[in-house]
Amino acid sequence: MVGARAVAARWCATFGGAALVVGAGCTLARRIDVVPGIARDTWAMVTSFVDFALLAYGVALVALLASVLLSRGGPVRLAAIGLTVALTVLHGSWLLPDVVADRDPVAGPERVTVLSQNLLFGAADPSSLRSAAGGADVVVLVEITRSAADGLVASGFEEDFPYASGGPLPEGGPSGTRIYSRYPLTAGERLDPAGGAQNWLTTVTVPGLGPISVAAVHPRRPRLGGQDWWPAQLQVLEHVPTTRTVVAGDFNAVDSHPSLRQYAARGFRDADDLVGAGWRPTFPAEGALPPLIAIDHLLVSADLTVTDFSRVRVSRTDHLGVLAAVGLRAG
Q: What are phi and psi of 270, to 5 degrees?
A: -80, 140
Collect the ranges in the chain with pLDDT lower than 70.
Answer: 1-2
- At 2 the pLDDT is 60
Q: Is 256 helix (H, G, I), strand (E, B) or coil?
A: coil
CB atoms within 10 A of CB 145: 20
Dihedral pair phi/psi, residue 85, rounded to 5° = -60, -45
CA distance linking residue 301 with residue 299, whole number of Å:
7
Contact indicator for 311, 320 with CB cutoff of 8 Å: yes
Architecture of domain 112-328: 4-Layer Sandwich (3.60)
pLDDT digits (tens, 9 = 90+) for 94-117: 999 899 999 999 999 999 999 999
What confidence score (pLDDT) does residue 170 get? 96
Q: How far apart are CA 111 and CA 114, in angstroms?
A: 10
Domain coordinates in residue numbering, the chain: 2-98, 112-328
d(CA 19, CA 93) in angstroms, rounded, equals 20
Residues ≥6 apart with Cβ < 8 Å to 194: none
pLDDT at residue 286, rounded to an integer = 87
The side-by-side arrangement of strands in the sheet containing 163-166 is 163-166, 177-181, 138-142, 112-118, 321-328, 304-312
Query: What pLDDT is attached to residue 1?
Result: 46
Q: How confident is the model at residue 71, as a pLDDT?
A: 83
Specify the pTM: 0.94
